Amino acid sequence: MHFLAHWVHDLSPFLVRFGDNFGIRYYGLAYLLGFGAAYWLLHRYARAGRSLLQPAQITDLMVAIVIGVLLGGRLGFFLFYQPGLVREDPLALLRVWEGGMASHGGFVGVAAALWWFARSRRLPFLHLGDLIASVAAAGLLLGRLANFINGELWGKPSTVAWAVIFSNTGGGPDPRHPSQLYQAGLEGALLLAFIQWRFWSSRIVAERPGRLAGEFMVAYAGLRAVGEMFREPDAALILGLSRGTFYSVFLVAAGLWLIARRSPPRPSPVHR
């Protein structure tokens, strides 16, 4: 009878619905707002003289980042979590309305987009990496909130007072940790606050190019691992670890390398 005290998730994934499976989804809105927050912050950096990006270049960078996130996140989902599905049904890659994005794949896609943009605009790759790392958590926060609204990626069974029953979205009758909200708070709000504090309270981006990106990777990996402790694994374990935790090990390695490496300070921004 204690199950009766827990809320049954009944939120609609649509802000506005135009048909059975068509409309404005919160998940898509989360991506749009996340990219908008990044665009706004990058302009703030330029105005404050903390960025080598000219304001006119920010739109081009954001287009590259959007493509990197969407392609990397989509391909990463099938490669990291559902490798058999794409072999059986290659068209599943195109059915984006069915969901399926991986944050680790998104990181790879962003890195590729930054590499291309840095080469084409003759800008320091590590500097661009620091800038994007400082804004990425805003998108992670909004994405996890959208996961909760969608009733997906729910947590492990629990009897805590704030547990949620996700029976309407496949979670069964048992109350579960709302792990999406835990992750929104950890790898979203907390990480965003930390990285923004590091960006504005020090000259780390100017004096140690790449270090802020490294700190972001290590912090994200650690916070993701904490969140995974409460989350129901959405694919088979690897070496006893959830896939989210296992793939984060590579982020830790890359992040520690960026933190430890020595690099010359970046040149001062040129204002035009």
pLDDT of 124-149, one tens digit each?
A: 999 999 999 999 999 999 999 999 99
Q: Quick check: 161 and 179 in contact, CB under 8 A?
A: no
Pick from 28-32, 157-161, 235-239: least confident: 235-239
**Alpha carbon distance 98, 114 (integer Å):** 28
Asked if residue 44 has pLDDT above 50, the reply is: yes
Q: Distances from the Cα of 254 to the Cαs of 111, 213, 257, in angstroms? A: 12, 10, 5
- What is the value of pTM for the model shown? 0.91
**Alpha carbon distance 220, 226 (integer Å):** 10
How many domains does the chain fold into? 1
Residue 240 Rama label (left phi>0; alpha psi -120 to 50; beta) = left
**Alpha carbon distance 157, 202 (integer Å):** 42
Residue 270 within any structural domain of the chain: no
Residue 269 within any structural domain of the chain: no
Q: How far is CA 95 from the centre of its chain?
A: 21
Residue 266 within any structural domain of the chain: no
Range of the domain at 180: 2-260
